[in-house]
Amino acid sequence: MSRNHRRRYASRGWLALMYLLTVIALIPLGLVLWFTILKGLPSVIHPQFFFNSELPPCEPRCPTVSDAGVGHAIVGTAIMVGLASLMAIPIGILGGIYLAEYAIARWSSWVRLAADVLVGTPSIAIGLFAYAFLVVPLHHFSAFSGSVALAVLMLPIVARTTEGAVALIPNGLRESGLALGLPRWRVSLQLILPAAAPGVITGGLLSVARAAGETAPLLFTAFGAHILEVDPNGPMQALPLTVFKYALLPYRSLQDQAWGAALVLIVFVLGINLASRFLLRRQIALAGQR
C-alpha cells in the first residue's frame, strides 16, 4: 500500500471515529427521553395526575389506579416562575437594549461580562443568597423568596438574548427613526424593540424553561409543600422539588410520582425550546430579508 493510500485511509478512519463519537454524544438524549416516557407515562395517563395533590406512600398495598397527582406542584411552579418572570423579564429586556444600543460603551462590556458570569454561577449559591436575603429576615420559607432566586437566574439569559435580537436589527431602521426626529427612547422602544420581538420573546421563553426546571434555588427558599398552596408568602411545592425529593425515597408509589413529574417537566421544557428555535429562525429569516 502506497503512502498516499495510507494517508487517505487514515483520514477516513478518523472521520468515521468522529461520527461514532457524535452518535455516542446523542445516545444520552435518546435514553433520557425514552426512560422518562417509559417510567413517567403510567402515572401521567391518569388525568387526575394533573389536578390532584400528592398521596402519602401506599406500600405495601397500593391501589391499581392511583389518585396521586402533581397538581399542587404544577400550580406552584406556575406561580413562582410567573412572579420571577415579572421581575426578571422587564429588567432583562431594558438591560439587553442597553447592551445592544450602547454596545461600544465601556460600562456595557462590564455588564456583559457580569451577565455571562451570572449565567455560570452555581444555582445553589443563588438559592443560598435568596435564603440569606429574604428567608432569614422574614423568619419563614416563602415561594416569593424562591421567585427572587429564579429571577436572578433568568435575568442574564433575558438580557443576553434581547441584546442578540436587538443587535440583529439593521442600522437603517435606527437611522431613519432618528432622522425623523424621534427621541432615542422612542426609536429603541417603539421601533427597534417591536422589530426584534421574536428574538426577545425567544429569550423570555428560554429563561422561563430554565427557571421551571431548577431545583437547587428552591430547596431552602420555597422549601416544598404536600398540598396545594397559592400564598406566595408561604412554602410552596414545585415540579423539580417533587422529582428530587421522591426519587430518593424508598417507596415505589412516590418514585412513580417523581417519574411522572419528570415527564411533565421535560415535555414542558423541551416544548418551549423547540418552539423558541422556530421563533428564532423566523427572526433571522426576517432580518435577512431587510
Partner 1 sequence: MAASAETVQARVITARPPDRFRTTVAGVATIVPAVLVLIVITLAVQAWPSITHFGLGFLTSTSWDPASDEGPFGALPAIFGTVATSFLALALALPVGVAVAVLLAEPGHTTIRGVIGTGIELLAAIPSVVYGIWALYVLAPWSYEHLELPISDHAGFIGWLSSPAVRGLFNAALVLAVMILPTLTAISRDVVRAVPRGLKENAVALGATWWETTWHVILPSARAGIFGATILALGRALGETIAVTMVIGNAYVIPHSIFQPAYTLASVIANEFTEATGTLYPAALIELGLVLILVTLTVNIFALLLVRSTAAEVRRAA
Does residue 8 interact with partner 1 by CB under 8 A?
Answer: yes
Between 253 and 255, CB nearer to partner 1 = 255
Q: How far apart are CA 17 and CA 35, in angstroms?
A: 27
Per CB under 8 A, contacts with partner 1 among 156-185 are 156, 159, 183-185
**Min. distance of Cβ 177 from partner 1 in angstroms?**
13
Residue nearer to partner 1 on the CB measure, 189 or 290? 189
CA distances from 8 to 21, 144, 150 (A): 20, 62, 53
CA atoms within 13 Å, Cβ hemisphere of 211: 33
Grid coordinates standing for 4? Answer: 498516499
Q: How far apart are CA 252 and CA 234, in angstroms?
A: 29
- If the CB atoms of residues 33 and 228 are measured against partner 1, the closer one turns out to be 33
Which of 140, 226, 252, 277 is close enough to bind partner 1 by CB under 8 A? 277
Q: Which residues, in sequence order, are bridge partners of residue 236?
A: 223
Residues 200-259 that bind partner 1 (CB under 8 A): 209-210, 212-216, 219-220, 223, 240, 243-244, 247-248, 255, 258-259
Stretch that binds partner 1, among 52-60, 108-116, 165-173, 225-233 (CB under 8 A): 108-116
**Site membership for partner 1, residue 123 (CB under 8 A):** yes
For partner 1, the closer CB: 35 or 50: 35
Considering the rule CB under 8 A, would residue 126 count as an interface residue with partner 1?
yes
User: Site residues for partner 1, window 44-103 (CB under 8 A)?
Assistant: 91, 94-95, 97-99, 101-102
Torsion of CA 236, 242, 246, 251, to 10 degrees: 90
- C-alpha distances out from residue 231 to 27, 49, 169, 226, Å: 42, 22, 42, 14
- By CB under 8 A, name the one of 56, 63, 122, 170 that touches partner 1: 122
Q: Which stretch binds partner 1 (CB under 8 A): 14-22, 42-50, 77-85, 195-203?
A: 14-22
Q: Is 133 one of the binding residues for partner 1 (CB under 8 A)?
A: yes
d(C-alpha 84, C-alpha 159), whole Å = 14
In b/e form, how buried is each residue of 221-245, taking b as 16+ CB within 10 angstroms? bbbbbeebbeebeebbbbbbbbbbb
Tell whether residue 17 is a contact of partner 1 (CB under 8 A). Answer: yes
